[in-house]
Structure 1
Amino acid sequence: MNTISKLKLTMRSLGVALLLGTATATAAVNSGNATLNRLEIKLAGQNIVTGFNPSTTSYDVTVDALPVTVSVSAAPAASDATVGFTVNGVSLGNHSVATLSTSVNTIVCKVASGSASSTYTVNVSANVIETGRTIHFKGNWSSTPYAYIYSNSTPAKEYCGKWPGTQLTAASDGWYTLSLPDEADKTALVIFNTGENGSERYPTDQMPGIALDFEGNHGWYLLSDKKWYTSNPEGPQKPAITVSPASGKVKGSSVITIDIANEATSISGSFNGRTLSLANGTNSIAVADYLADGEEGTLTVSASNSLGTAEFSATFNRDDTVVVSGLTGDWRELSIYQVMVGSFQHSDRGASGYSQMWGPQGHRKNGNIKGVTEALDYIKDLGMNAIWLTPVFDSSNGGNGDERLKATGYFANDYFKIDPHFGSEAEFRELVNEAHARGMYIILDGVFGHHSNCTGASPNGNYVDNRTAANVRGSDAGNIAYPGSLAYFKEVVRYWMENFEVDGWRLDQCYQVYQGGHNYWYDLRMEVEAVANERKNRGEQWGTLGYMVGEDWTSAGRITVTQQDGLKSVMDFDGKDNLVNLSAGVGSIGWFLSSDAASRGYRDAGVNPTIFLSNHDTSRVGDFVDINSSPEELMTRHAAVAAYSGPACTYYGDEIGDKSGNGNADNKARTSGRISGFSANEQRVHDYVAKVFKARSENPALWRGSVQRQQIGKEVEVITKTDAETGNKVICIFSQQNTSVSIGGTGEDILNGGTVSGTVSVQAWVPVFIRMN
């Protein structure tokens, strides 16, 4: 075959091959499959059909506004498929543009392949932007409620008529509604009532109304909860997940409870890599089934329904170490050591601290958490069993004041972080663990009535209502409003108790939380006690005390935060003044120790105040009683505190008679903390304080005993304290002169050692404690 013939044959073969290839390429792919791989209705370049699934043929879509222009297109699964659209009945081809009307728009995509066909429908409507506000009220009252809505502006305004206001309209399930006039904004107040001659009203007579400060267009006020909700609290809700404990250290004997509320339709979870079988309601998982001692694992939970999805994730560490503390869990036994974090101690191994703080010149400002940790043995040896830290929450980004104010800690911007100037969360956890290892509680300073630039969400999505809010005192208004902030601060106390095993709370300017005729300390105390009890029931040792003490700086008879079953302890400023001044000599001590709270002016039942001699806002006791000339009189005052039936607090430095510096009246006591290098008199008073508080820890009669008072003239007080539960009996003798006192039996001198019988020699201003046989 010649070359030309070969070339013709080759070209003919190539043509056949190309022809066959073309036939193969044009054969239909997925013929008979009338589904779509992609459906796009694009508005401003964005596909409004989100989450497209080929097997889902109907979609409801909302857009911000109508009319709008959209493009429509689809990609069929089969290569031989035909695609066509209709928009509100008007036929269009694939890859077309259409204008949607102001009403509901129906876009239909028809797909055909072979003998198969299918239809996809997209309904497009505009979001309904609701205007105006509506209140919903449920009080289970005997008659239809009214709403009297007004403002405290000058002049005052009435928005829905004069008293008793406007009658609400009955809805369903006991709810009543009222549409608010536009002028009734978030500053307006409402008093719910049952009419001119009705007997029911909330808030009660002479109390201001409830602020209409709910978010959004609807406010639901459930009287039993005494707070606003943004949706019907009794209606359908997105699932909610509550895990207790929420994270952190757990024992092998512990049980983690997972509560899933609001009827989730899909639930999943895992712990330490193992799948969990969970259901709506309460689920319990045993730590020992998932973690070995010392092992760490992550717990994840997800729950969803048609209204949304809730998710949870946290890390747990199993620690079966048992610390024998010797503590009873009765907060009357507290011997608290208060430290001002910024001025107490600085450790070079910790955070840098602040450089300035409100306080006396020439004294430490850069104290840190690590410094407190390194002083724990000193505090323990002093006979203390608890530490109150001034606030350690993050104040570094606050908007109020300069660094001097931020360094005090009393104006936080984030209640879920440790201030980085003081240390890290890890360093705080180390402090708590080391204190617990020594049998000491940790008490945090909670400032829940004012803040500085705290605008972020909590881990659970709660916020601070940061409007100025009048309080029961009528002065010193804070910038935290209740009940809008209640959920946030309930979460705060639970977070630190569950995640860091915090044992108690000192509460700054606590009268600020009594607002609108309601003492919200009742609600917060219920939450603290609930967390403490949950932890007890799980077998936890720490984070179970639930101690709360308020600072309501006024005389006993004017204290309000104990009303409405609120706080059960407050700082005893009257008691402090009595013991510091001793206007009747040791007779002032006898009266104080033998008088219960009611006879000292506290009006509400079940209140046991916390006694102290100084704190960070007052002058020091050492300013009134000189360590150099009258060390014994300092010893007397500390002995009186140690013999008190109830919580006792010692401000750092008072154990050595420290004096205030040259600061302002409310910050001059923030002197540099010292734990060594004492003078002879300082060491003498320090050692005596350690003895009386050690005696307090070993004798329940001293911290909870009943009192029998015997006066010998005006210069000797014999206080006999007896603990009914154990029979422990201690005689405390306070004298202004050298004397001998009959004790009517035999006992042990628990401060000086040795057995005494019949009579006891007492040195002037140096009390003795005798434990009777």
Structure 2
Amino acid sequence: MNKHIWHRSAISVAMALALAACGGGGGSSSTDDSSSTDDSVYSLTISSSANSADSRMTCNQGADVAACDLRMYQIMVEAFVNGDDSINYNTGYGPSEHKGDLQGIIDSLDYIAGTGVNAIWLTPIFNSCKGETSDAKLEATGYFACDYFTVDPMFGDSAKLKELVDAAHDKGLYVFLDGVFGHASGIGITMDNVPSSLSGLAEPATLTSSSSTCTVSSTQTCFDYDSSDTLAFFKAVAAYYVTEYGIDGWRLDQAYQVPVSDLEAIRGAVETAAAARAADGEEWGTLGYMVGEVWSGQDYIASNGYGTSSAPGLLSNFDFPMHYGLMQAVGSETSASSNSDASALYASWNDGSVYPDFAIPNLFIGNHDIPRLGDLLQRTGRGDVDEDEYWLRHKAVFSFMAATSGPMTVYYGDEIGDQLDGFSTQVSSSTCASQGLCDDHVSRTDGRVLGVTEDSLTTNETSLKAYVKSLMDLRDDHPALAQGSLTRISDDDNVFVSRKDNGSDQILYLLNTQGTDAVVTLSTTALGDDGTLDNLLDSSDSLSASDGNYTITVPAYSGVFYQIN
């Protein structure tokens, strides 16, 4: 939540320095970069693959697990959609009207399912004791709970949560809740509503002074995991919502506040509860997926999120390093350089080389704590909503996500390129909070849901949403995208060329990070095949090799997918 600044700043600066130190990706001896005499075209010749197949880039070493193809849709509950005007916060951080609730999400499920995602992640829905702390805006976020066993009455109640979970499942959507298991409201938590099935559960212990990961204050209580009561409490909370509501797992906020050995124990409780539901013949609530937010570099994520092969913590964590690489390559970010350099994809600081074999990184474009891609593009002059570049960059970023093994997360509104009008000129460090324009909450806008809050979308918004749906369907149909091994065929600065393999499903993916079209001459030796290439998003585009080479045109700021036959 709002306590992430030190992690976010550190990772952005570190990655910027790493990229600068590397001097870009250059090209390997196997790649001949030669600019065409036509300034409107970039030419790239690849005679042999720059890298061999990398099994680390499979999802969980190629295991056939549903988590690998999770396509999650993140919802900031208090900001999203007003479905019940009698229970709203009406205040909060960010520019929304802060009237979101569970009914608004239920009303929006058809739209959400129509984007091609297969899961929703809700920011915390636990009671935050509205009006009892010194910060009403923090209460609205949900990240400072006072009661882990009741639904925030400003969002709904337990019956409404169960209705939402069941309705989402009926539409084929997994449901994940947000667990804040390292800190809570500054007033502490109540044990008054512990369910009878958990009678005798002890209150978690709290810290009396700040730790390296959690600051004790009037608005924040920090939990002490040196006490066995704390671990027992959160194991019970995590399992309870699986057992009683049928949720499919958790996202853990600031997961580094919980010791990695305790993350393993909490995960074990969730997986046990999910397995029990499966044994009872339940269709849903059986996945037991958990993903951690450890906002830092990959070494810190490895040690404080994943743990080791012999002592695993969480099996999945958000891939902040690759997020920053993707933003540098195609999009834009707040702190590090954004230079359209494809070498920022799988650079030494974000290639996942330090993660254990079981790791399932979860890639994302944005979330509730950073500006939207659209806002950043406008701030850095890399495309405005009335320019083609804005929409092409969005599509390019989504295409890379679709081509990356492991789960992916879409922040609500990004599927239509949403942004806040005027953000690039209005933001000021001295007045941003009162304006709702600070970087760490500007994306908490009202949800724009066709058929619920919107009667229509613009042509560009409609086109992007349809493109995102086509990518989601592509992942659904092709296990190579969600689970395949990765072969980075080229280390070129301008065009990312890779191959994904999962059994007989073999796909060539190319991403042009530049503003000019690219013509790639790819040898059959470099590809490792000599069959036809069929464009998976354009049935009229089928390529055959000529004299041992394929000639592939990749439009500016675009990703293309070819089935290798």
Structure 2 length-normalised TM: 0.72
Q: 1:427 to 1:752 in 2, by over 3 A?
A: farther
Q: Secondary structure at the match of 1:711?
A: coil
The one-character-per-residue Cα deviations of 1:414-443 (angstroms, maximum 9, x if unpaired) are 211211211122222222112112211101
* 1:550 counterpart = 2:292: yes
In structure 1, runs of 5+ residues without a counterpart are 1-327
Q: 2:275 aligns with which of 533, 542, 546?
A: 533
Instruction: Specify the alignment match of 2:366 in structure 1.
Output: 614
Amino acid at match of 1:585: S
The one-character-per-residue Cα deviations of 1:384-421 (angstroms, maximum 9, x if unpaired) are 01111000111235743333221111111221121121
Q: 1:447 to 1:679 in 2, by over 3 A?
A: same
Q: Which of 441-450 and 466-475 deviates more?
A: 466-475
Instruction: Specify the alignment match of 2:402 in structure 1.
Output: 642
The alpha carbon displacement at 1:766 in A equals 2.1
Q: 2:411 aligns with which of 636, 651, 654?
A: 651
After superposition, residues 108-257 of structure 1 pair within 5 angstroms as none
Instruction: Specify the alignment match of 2:159 in structure 1.
Output: 426
Higher relative contact order (CA 8 A, sep 6+): 2
The alpha carbon displacement at 1:343 in A equals 1.1
The alpha carbon displacement at 1:754 in A equals 3.9
The one-character-per-residue Cα deviations of 1:476-534 (angstroms, maximum 9, x if unpaired) are 465222222222211111211011110010011112222xxx63111101111111222
Q: 1:449 to 1:469 in 2, by over 3 A?
A: farther
After superposition, residues 162-561 of structure 1 pair within 5 angstroms as 329-348=65-84, 352-360=87-95, 363-397=96-130, 399-452=132-185, 453-457=188-192, 458-459=194-195, 460-461=198-199, 462-468=201-207, 473-476=212-215, 478-482=221-225, 483-514=228-259, 519-559=261-301, 560-561=304-305
Q: 1:753 to 1:354 in 2, by over 3 A?
A: farther
* Aligned counterparts of 1:385 and 1:444: Cα–Cα separation in 2: 15
For the 8 Å contact 1:508–1:551, the answer to whether it is kept is yes
* Aligned counterparts of 2:290 and 2:209: Cα–Cα separation in 1: 23
The one-character-per-residue Cα deviations of 1:655-710 (angstroms, maximum 9, x if unpaired) are 22222554323211101111233222222222211211221121111111011222
Q: Secondary structure at the match of 2:175?
A: strand
The alpha carbon displacement at 1:329 in A equals 4.8
* Aligned counterparts of 2:508 and 2:68: Cα–Cα separation in 1: 19
The alpha carbon displacement at 1:558 in A equals 2.0
> Which of the two has greater helix per residue?
2
Q: 1:432 to 1:589 in 2, by over 3 A?
A: farther
Q: 1:588 to 1:567 in 2, by over 3 A?
A: same
Q: 1:624 to 1:402 in 2, by over 3 A?
A: closer
Amino acid at match of 1:376: L
Q: 2:437 aligns with which of 657, 663, 675?
A: 663
The alpha carbon displacement at 1:472 in A equals 7.6
The alpha carbon displacement at 1:632 in A equals 0.6
* Aligned counterparts of 1:502 and 1:577: Cα–Cα separation in 2: 30
Q: Which of 699-708 and 661-670 deviates more?
A: 661-670
Q: 2:315 aligns with which of 565, 568, 573?
A: 568
Q: 1:448 to 1:549 in 2, by over 3 A?
A: same
The one-character-per-residue Cα deviations of 1:162-193 (angstroms, maximum 9, x if unpaired) are xxxxxxxxxxxxxxxxxxxxxxxxxxxxxxxx
Q: Secondary structure at the match of 1:342?
A: helix
The alpha carbon displacement at 1:584 in A equals 5.9
* Aligned counterparts of 1:354 and 1:519: Cα–Cα separation in 2: 37
* Aligned counterparts of 1:729 and 1:587: Cα–Cα separation in 2: 22
* Aligned counterparts of 1:486 and 1:574: Cα–Cα separation in 2: 29
> Which of the two has greater strand per residue?
1
> Bigger radius of gyration, 1 or 2?
1
Instruction: Specify the alignment match of 2:28 in structure 1.
Output: none
Amino acid at match of 2:479: P
Percent of aligned pairs with the same amino acid: 36
Q: Secondary structure at the match of 1:554?
A: coil
Q: 1:754 to 1:553 in 2, by over 3 A?
A: same
Instruction: Specify the alignment match of 1:591 in structure 2.
Output: 346
Q: Secondary structure at the match of 1:519?
A: helix
The alpha carbon displacement at 1:605 in A equals 4.5
* Aligned counterparts of 2:161 and 2:249: Cα–Cα separation in 1: 15
Amino acid at match of 1:703: A
* Aligned counterparts of 1:499 and 1:714: Cα–Cα separation in 2: 51
Q: Secondary structure at the match of 1:702?
A: helix
* Aligned counterparts of 1:472 and 1:525: Cα–Cα separation in 2: 23
For the 8 Å contact 2:325–2:345, the answer to whether it is kept is no
* Aligned counterparts of 1:672 and 1:753: Cα–Cα separation in 2: 37
Q: 1:555 to 1:469 in 2, by over 3 A?
A: farther
Q: 2:509 aligns with which of 729, 732, 751?
A: 732
For the 8 Å contact 2:342–2:492, the answer to whether it is kept is no
The alpha carbon displacement at 1:760 in A equals 4.5
The alpha carbon displacement at 1:471 in A equals 8.4
For the 8 Å contact 1:717–1:734, the answer to whether it is kept is yes
What do you get for the CA RMSD once the two structures are aligned? Answer: 2.5
* Aligned counterparts of 1:359 and 1:691: Cα–Cα separation in 2: 31
Q: 1:694 aligns with which of 468, 473, 490?
A: 473
The one-character-per-residue Cα deviations of 1:533-563 (angstroms, maximum 9, x if unpaired) are 2222222221111111111111111231322
Number of paired residues? 435
Q: Secondary structure at the match of 2:446?
A: coil
In structure 2, runs of 5+ residues without a counterpart are 1-63, 330-337, 378-382, 424-435, 451-455, 545-550
Amino acid at match of 1:381: G
Q: Secondary structure at the match of 1:433?
A: helix
